Amino acid sequence: MSLHIINTSDRPTEATIKVSFDTERNAEIAYRVLKVDVEPRRNFVQKEFTLQGLDLEVHFVSDEVKNLRSAIASFFELLVLCTDTIKAFGRRNASSHTSSKPT
């Protein structure tokens, strides 16, 4: 995972988060789940999601650093929930696909 922040006094503050997943399927699941979360109108942070192979990239833009910080913290909370769910379902599906010989 990487985080890149640009802050200059005459422009909005920008941050880009890049998260790498172990499979393209997991990256696509996270992309679809996290992209669906629409920001409320009162939020002054714009988010743009891109997916390239194993990598999910989220670009944030805000006029105020405090709003950007809040949006990134919220994104990480949702990301943790999403990855925990992917792991839980991955373990459950793996155990349900074990083969057993009839006796």
Residue by residue, pLDDT tens for the chain (103 residues) are 777 666 666 778 899 999 999 999 999 999 999 998 666 666 689 999 999 999 999 999 998 888 899 999 999 999 999 999 999 987 666 555 554 555 4
pLDDT reported for residue 90: 79
Contact indicator for 17, 47 with CB cutoff of 8 Å: no
CATH number of 2-89: 3.30.310.50
Domain chopping of the chain, boundaries: 2-89
Distance CA 101, CA 2 (A): 46
Nearest to 49 by CA among 41, 59, 40, 64: 59
**Model's pTM, two decimal places?**
0.76
Tokens of 41: 């109108």
